[in-house]
Amino acid sequence: MKRMNVAQKIISAHLVEGDPAKDAEIGIRIDQTLTQDATGTMAYLQFESMGVSHVKNDLAVSYVDHNTVQIGFENADDHDFLASVAKKFGIVYSKAGNGICHQLHLERFGKPGTTLLGSDSHTPTGGGIGQIAIGAGGIDIAVAMAGGAFHIPSPKVRAIRLKGRLRRGVSAKDIILKVLEKFGTKGNVGWIFEYTGPGVAALDVPSRATITNMGAELGVTTSVFPSDDVTRQFLAAQGRARDFVRVEADEGAVYDDEFTVDLSKLEPLAAAPHSPGNIVTVASMKGLKVNQVMIGSCTNSSYRDIRTVAQILKGKHVADDVEVGIACGSRQVVNMLAADGSLAVLIKAGCRILENACGFCIGAHMSPSTNAVSLRTNNRNFEGRSGTKSAQVYLVSPETAAASALAGEFVASKGTAAVPAPKKFPVDDAMFLYRETAGKGVKGAKIVRGPNIATVPKGEPLANDLKGVAAIKVGDKITTDHIMPAGARLKFRSNVPEYSKYVFEPCDPTFHDRCLKNRESGLANVIIAGESYGQGSSREHAALCPMYLGVKAVIAKSIERIHRANLINFGIVPFEFENPADYEKVEAGDTLELKGVRSAVAGDGRLVVKCAKGSFAVRTRLSGREKHLVLCGGLLASL
Ligand code: MIC
Ligand code: SF4
């Protein structure tokens, strides 16, 4: 029998289409789904339009954690809509204030050996307990809830071998920053990173989850740890011993590649502005004045993390000119910190205690001041994501964040005693509603639709000849935060016409108006981009809103996995330059001729595009399923 690694074991047990040994797309069965409010409203509107009576997968959970600020009626309208949908269709509803989706799912629902699909790019947090957990656009979650398969490229699996033991002051965040230093934020499409080796056993579940969570920044399909005795202990302490299954790689399992991290040699690291792949040592930053320190987010908001911070701050006070905010991952974490006195320590040390939610991480709270240096324990430091364009955001471990908050400048922590894995977590599921009707739903329950809940636009079939305009030309590593900003604009997620006004706002605020003009004159809008277009989040609005504005194609040097899938789901052709140097041939505003684009999509994906400076060749590599979607004008239009 073939000796399998963890990823292969779980994928082969869930395989419903294709052959992982071939270099093509495969379909897998999805056991669990999760959504969060900012992507969930669209996902459920799409689910509703599929006409299914209730969810068909094992467990669907709808979390509210992104838009909890509620300035104006919009967020609250979304919450009411989500709660009513959950009741009707058999979804568990996690109320605002319960915590951040990934932390909560790990604590209460995630199961080793199963598959989880979430409308959030950090869904791979579940890899910390041996789940194949993948982020995707909302419509893919809707399909999975309706019992459909999810498609991924046949994965290549890279072993990240951990050896040795971490030194004091160095933690899981530094491990994933090291992996990001090695592999960067582009060029990892189609890979699964599997953590193996003797160093794994010494990492507790929250540490493993920090690593798989931030693996999203690599652009991989997912990251996964084995499910072992550490996992067993964690699940038992959560009162979920029955959910444990052991999933470990077979002796001699084969990997497509491997990389070793010697934990004993690791030093505190940071991701410097404005990319999670821009890694520096904390030692090299020593002395840089720090204005703000933010601790929390789905990467570092566990009891282990915040308790560690409390141990470092105990009996001290943060520097006078530094503002410090702490957002815990869940009510469970807050309750534990309250019970053991850590919360009082944090308050006494001068920290601002924030809601258990995404908040600052997505620029929805505590934006830093102009030009501020902000140290944060979250996973993304894209320019402007904090809500302040000129801010210099560095991503660090909780240990480095706490030490720097005290010093008022960038400094590594000397460390503190390890927080032992709790023997018993206090379990209180009262803020998870509709657990009794999960999987069944309540027939006849009414869906509540306030004025913020608009309808989902459908695409149109792809024409054979397109006369187009290069509506914008952007550079490398354009993130979904550039395409579809969050923060102050997040409240329009359920209203596509309104949210579309902000497409590319950080790059070119005139994009929306120009696109509409082009669309009215019968011209197709085309986006020209460099390498790694669409990095970052799973937000399908970065495809849906451009579709609404008449964008028919993206031509890029390369496109990231989740965004590429979202483009296809909304009928936008994801083209790549055959010769990346041709990027130079197109200028913003150029007229483009895409003659025979429909036949090209239906055929081998090759097309010659005419432009002012002559012509250039592009290519799209689509599976049969993907071709069908693009030709129809997207998934909804294909139903
Ligand atoms: C993010 O961290 O960028 C988000 C906000 O959680 C997104 C989802 C969204 O845009 O709603 C993600 O990671 O997918
Ligand atoms: Fe929320 Fe930030 Fe995690 Fe996204 S990365 S889910 S915004 S905490």
- What is the CATH classification number for the domain harbouring 238? 3.30.499.10
Residues 147 and 160 in one domain: yes
Token duo for residue 217: 């920044």
Residues 60 and 143 in one domain: yes
21 C-alpha vs ligand 1 centroid, how far in Å? 32
Residues 194 and 47 in one domain: yes
% pLDDT > 90, the chain: 98
pLDDT in tens, 83-138: 999 999 999 999 999 999 999 999 999 999 999 999 999 999 999 999 999 999 99
Measured between alpha carbons, how far is 330 from 125 in angstroms, rounded to an integer?
15
pLDDT at 450: 94
- Ligand 1 atom closest to residue 385's alpha carbon, by position in its atom list: 3
Q: Which residue segment(s) compose the domain that 60 sits in?
A: 6-265
Residues 296 and 251 in one domain: no
Statement: residue 1 has pLDDT above 80: no
pLDDT at 22: 86
β pairing state of 115-118 and 132-135: parallel
Half-sphere exposure (Cβ direction) of 92: Cα atoms closer than 13 Å? 22
Q: Which ligand is nearest to the CA of 357?
A: 2
Q: Report yes or no on whether pTM surpasses 0.85.
A: yes
Q: Which of 120, 213, 217, 376 has most ligand 2 atoms within 8 Å of CB, for mutation?
A: 120
- 529 within 8 A of 580, measured Cβ to Cβ: no
Statement: residue 202 has pLDDT above 70: yes
Residue with CA nearest ligand 1 atom 9: 539
In a domain, 414, yes or no: no
Q: How far apart are the first and last CA of the chain?
A: 41
Residue with CA nearest ligand 1 atom 3: 537
- For ligand 1, residues with CB inside 6 Å are 38-39, 66, 120-122, 135, 362, 486, 536-539
Residues 138 and 282 in one domain: no
Strand partners, 193: 158, 223
Statement: residue 274 has pLDDT above 90: yes
Residues 361 and 486 in one domain: no
Q: Write the single-letter amino acid at 435.
A: R
pLDDT in tens, 513-544: 999 999 999 999 999 999 999 999 999 999 99
In a domain, 427, yes or no: no
Measured between alpha carbons, how far is 623 from 434 in angstroms, rounded to an integer?
39
Residue 618 exposed, middle or buried by CB count within 10 Å (0-12, 13-18, 19+): buried
Write down which residue in 201, 233, 265 finishes a domain.
265
Measured between alpha carbons, how far is 10 from 20 in angstroms, rounded to an integer?
12
Residues 105 and 148 in one domain: yes
Half-sphere exposure (Cβ direction) of 126: Cα atoms closer than 13 Å? 31
Token duo for residue 186: 């582009």
In a domain, 348, yes or no: yes
DSSP assigned state of 216: G
In a domain, 440, yes or no: no
Average pLDDT over residues 598-616: 97
3-state helix, strand, coil in the chain (%, to 5): 35, 20, 45
- 306 within 8 A of 333, measured Cβ to Cβ: yes
pLDDT at 144: 98
Residue with CA nearest ligand 2 atom 2: 361
Residues 259 and 278 in one domain: no
- For ligand 2, residues with CB inside 6 Å are 66, 100, 120, 122, 297-298, 358, 361-362, 378-379
- Ligand 1 atom closest to residue 380's alpha carbon, by position in its atom list: 2
In a domain, 24, yes or no: yes
pLDDT at 23: 77
Question: Domain tally for the chain?
Answer: 3
My answer on whether omega of the bond before 274 falls inside 30° of 0, hence cis, is yes
Token duo for residue 65: 């954690």
Lowest mean pLDDT among 21-30, 318-327, 550-559: 21-30
197 C-alpha vs ligand 2 centroid, how far in Å? 29
The number of beta carbons lying within 10 Å of the beta carbon of residue 504 is 24
457 C-alpha vs ligand 2 centroid, how far in Å? 26
Helix (H), strand (E), coil (C) string for 228-246: CHHHHHHHHHCCCHHHCCC
Residues 256 and 279 in one domain: no
Question: Which residues are within 8 A (CB) of 452 and not within 5 positions of it... i.e. 6 or more apart?
Answer: 73, 74, 77, 78, 491, 492, 494, 495
Token duo for residue 322: 């530094």
- Ligand 1 atom closest to residue 39's alpha carbon, by position in its atom list: 11
345 C-alpha vs ligand 1 centroid, how far in Å? 31
Read off φ and ψ for residue 9, nearest 5 degrees: -60, -50
Average pLDDT over residues 23-35: 95
Statement: residue 448 has pLDDT above 70: yes
Write down which residue in 407, 437, 452 finishes a domain.
407
Residues 69 and 94 in one domain: yes
DSSP SS3 for 638: helix
Instruction: Transcribe 341-383 into DSSP letters.
Output: THHHHHHHTTPEEEPSSSGGGGTSS-PPPTT-EEEESSS---T
Cα-based distances in Å from 361 to 300, 357, 378: 11, 9, 6
Token duo for residue 119: 């409308």
The number of beta carbons lying within 10 Å of the beta carbon of residue 401 is 29
Q: Which ligand is nearest to the CA of 362?
A: 2
Residues 159 and 104 in one domain: yes
In a domain, 569, yes or no: yes
Token duo for residue 221: 């399909």
Residue with CA nearest ligand 1 atom 2: 537
Statement: residue 442 has pLDDT above 70: yes
List b or e across 248-263, with b for residues whose CB sees 16 or more CB atoms inside 10 angstroms: bbeeebebeeeeebeb
Cα-based distances in Å from 428 to 110, 144, 242, 537: 16, 28, 18, 30
Write down which residue in 247, 265, 283 finishes a domain.
265
In a domain, 74, yes or no: yes
Residues 237 and 188 in one domain: yes
Q: Which ligand is nearest to the CA of 210?
A: 2
Q: Which of 103, 361, 365, 493 has most ligand 2 atoms within 8 Å of CB, for mutation?
A: 361
In a domain, 447, yes or no: no
Question: Which residues are within 8 A (CB) of 329 and not within 5 positions of it... i.e. 6 or more apart?
Answer: 99, 100, 102, 103, 104, 296, 298, 301, 302, 356
pLDDT in tens, 372-403: 999 999 999 999 999 999 999 999 999 999 99
Strand partners, 277: none
List b or e across 203-221, with b for residues whose CB sees 16 or more CB atoms inside 10 angstroms: bbbbbbbbbbbbbbbbbbb
Residue written as token pair 């995630």: 110
CATH number at residue 606: 3.20.19.10
